[in-house]
Structure 1
Amino acid sequence: MKTFKNILIVLFALPMFVFAQETKQNDKEQTKEKPARAAFEGSTLIENATNVLFQKNTLEIQMSHRFGLLNGGTNDMAGFWAPSNIRIGLAYAITDYITVGYGTTKFSRLQDFNLKVGLLRQTRSNSMPISVTYFGNATVDARTKDNFNLKQDRYSYFSQLIIAKRFSSKFSAQVAPSISHFNLVEPTIKNDMIAIAFGGRYKISPNTAIIVDYSQPITSFYSGNPNPGIAFGVEFATSGHAFQLFATNYNGLSPQKNYMYNHNDFINNGDFMIGFNITRKYNF
């Protein structure tokens, strides 16, 4: 009888013990900070990188295209028949916080090897109000050797700190200071360019958003200062891909190339072109 009573006590106490453990686990989960959704849908915001980092083992295919200037000629169909620049790239998330990539660009045959690292992530409770991400690349100019005196003249570098915030389900913004470096430059300019970019995205429907991107060079050269980059357009995004269609005065497709050498004047001369970015991601 005593054994039977002990069994009954255990049977009645077991559900209470399980319930207590589940409650304790739920309390831990509730107190654990959860990261907010990324401020942007795609890995780029027209001409600059965003804070978007994909889950581990995600592969992203990237394609960027810039037509010729709309005011560049009299017989090029608003730039569509003019020489256009193209970049095709890959990015792979080796962890949830680190993504590596490679891309090849038509103009100057640029080969870029890039890295994106998540440093801080905005939380849903807003205890961490912003996301901070590092983006950088090392780029090789693969034109023939008669264009260079030394091997190291081919190299350029770019480093950017992306500070982004998702203000609401519709509106996100970012500010991104950067530095560009070219080993070989003309005597009238400097090897390094400090710049800052501002960008934003506002959703007008579940899959459509208005996007803007402004890039301001800060370093002054001895002559031939580059013009700021101005871009605006629309983005169509799903869970697997993003398509951006826009007007821009940047055609370099390499950030350091744009910041150092852009001479298209959007404001005074109306120098701009139609461009698009397409990204598609695959999870493994």
Structure 2
Amino acid sequence: MDKRRCLRKLNYVILLITISYTSYGQNRNTKDVFPLFWGTNIENLQTSQTLPQGDLELRIFHRFGEISTGASDMFGVYAPSNITMGLAYGITSNLMLVFDTEKQNRFYDLSLKYRFLTQKTDNSIPLSVSYIFTTSYSGMDKENYGVTYHAANRWSYLNQLVAEKQIGYKINTMLGIYYTHHNAAKPTQPHDIGAVSFAMGYRFGKKMSIFANYQYNQALTFLGDNSSRDEVGKDGASVGISYGTPTHKFQVFIGNQYGINTGDNMANNAYKLNSSNLRIGFNISVRLFHNKKS
């Protein structure tokens, strides 16, 4: 009897160890995959990544003048510049709140980002996908809106759907689909504009990577605007280098967009993609408070 009891107990212990090991192996193989080096933004575009719950981040984005101005303007560094400052907060691990202010057009932007899919290490979920809604208010003088000024003219709205795919350890790709509505538009511009963006990054060091992105804009006249209202912002592109740690991100790049507000760039980017319109820009994101428990 004693032997039988001992064998039963031994089998029970072995069964518990086997179940525990199997569960551990399954959990280990289904860890979340996050973008390796972009953080919550790449140039002017939001990524699928959200901040951990309770984290607070300071964001400073800067765009200089055209490089083509030459040494007299320090290749655009001494030219008039555009800047955005803001804060981002992780409400939950999948929900993030962002408030930004932009110098050009005096934009005040409030964004909510929700990540509803997160890529897994075993590819059971192959993509990370987030939806971002942004409402923007322009504090420009009334004179900028002509004789038909209404308070509602100051508002615009941007919807973003962003999907990312991490390939191995070194490569990250991103596809974005965008729709913006502007309450006020010029006679040649539509109120509704769509865009598609694609970005790719390659890690070449523990904390360093290079990236490139392209954004194509298209008038959505079928939503009610006259077909002659087809003037949209010029397509945007950039190439750059990124340095990042879990709590700090720094990107420096060359691109053709002076604005930082994505919805406004879709409507009003005046700079074609050519050598005379290129400018240096940088993004800095610093975690002011990091919730170590998350």
TM-score above 0.5, yes or no: yes
Corresponding residue of 1:84:
81
Bigger CA drift: 108-117 or 141-150?
141-150
Corresponding residue of 2:234:
227
Is there any run of 5+ residues in structure 1 with no aligned partner, and where? none
Corresponding residue of 1:152:
152
Corresponding residue of 1:170:
170
Instruction: Report the count of equivalent residues.
Output: 278
Change (3 A) 1:111 1:144: same
Corresponding residue of 1:24:
19
Provide the secondary structure at the position in 2 that maps to 1:270.
helix
Report the Cα distance in structure 1 between the residues aligned to 2:280 and 2:12, rounded to whole angstroms: 65
Corresponding residue of 1:125:
122
Report the Cα distance in structure 2 between the residues aligned to 1:168 and 1:136, rounded to whole angstroms: 30
| 1:39–1:51 CA contact under 8 A, matched in 2 | no
Q: Deviations over 1:35-70 (max 9, x none)?
A: 223354311111211111222111121110000112
Report the Cα distance in structure 2 between the residues aligned to 1:224 and 1:41, rounded to whole angstroms: 31
Is there any run of 5+ residues in structure 2 with no aligned partner, and where? 221-227
Bigger CA drift: 110-119 or 65-74?
65-74
| 2:37–2:242 CA contact under 8 A, matched in 1 | no
Corresponding residue of 1:97:
94
Corresponding residue of 2:266:
259
Shift in Å at residue 22 of structure 1?
Answer: 3.6
Q: Deviations over 1:97-143 (max 9, x none)?
A: 11111011111110000011112111111122111111221011122
Residue 200, structure 1, aligned to residue 200, structure 2: yes
TM-score (ref. length: structure 1):
0.90
Report the Cα distance in structure 1 between the residues aligned to 2:110 and 2:232, rounded to whole angstroms: 27
| 1:39–1:164 CA contact under 8 A, matched in 2 | no
| 1:232–1:247 CA contact under 8 A, matched in 2 | yes
Report the Cα distance in structure 2 between the residues aligned to 1:88 and 1:179, rounded to whole angstroms: 24
Corresponding residue of 1:271:
277
Shift in Å at residue 18 of structure 1?
Answer: 4.4
Percent identical among aligned pairs is 27
| 2:190–2:230 CA contact under 8 A, matched in 1 | no
Residue 236, structure 1, aligned to residue 243, structure 2: yes
Match for 1:35: what amino acid? D
Change (3 A) 1:95 1:10: farther
Corresponding residue of 2:189:
189
Report the Cα distance in structure 2 between the residues aligned to 1:147 and 1:227, rounded to whole angstroms: 21
Match for 1:81: what amino acid? Y
Change (3 A) 1:24 1:223: closer
Report the Cα distance in structure 2 between the residues aligned to 1:124 and 1:189, rounded to whole angstroms: 45
Corresponding residue of 1:143:
140
Shift in Å at residue 76 of structure 1?
Answer: 2.2
TM-score (ref. length: structure 2):
0.87
Shift in Å at residue 26 of structure 1?
Answer: 2.8
Shift in Å at residue 239 of structure 1?
Answer: 2.0
Report the Cα distance in structure 1 between the residues aligned to 2:138 and 2:122, rounded to whole angstroms: 45
Shift in Å at residue 263 of structure 1?
Answer: 1.5
Shift in Å at residue 81 of structure 1?
Answer: 1.5
Match for 1:264: what amino acid? Y
Report the Cα distance in structure 2 between the residues aligned to 1:72 and 1:157, rounded to whole angstroms: 34
Shift in Å at residue 182 of structure 1?
Answer: 0.7
Bigger CA drift: 212-221 or 54-63?
212-221
Bigger CA drift: 135-144 or 15-24?
15-24
Q: Deviations over 1:70-97 (max 9, x none)?
A: 2358842211121100101111111111
| 2:62–2:282 CA contact under 8 A, matched in 1 | yes
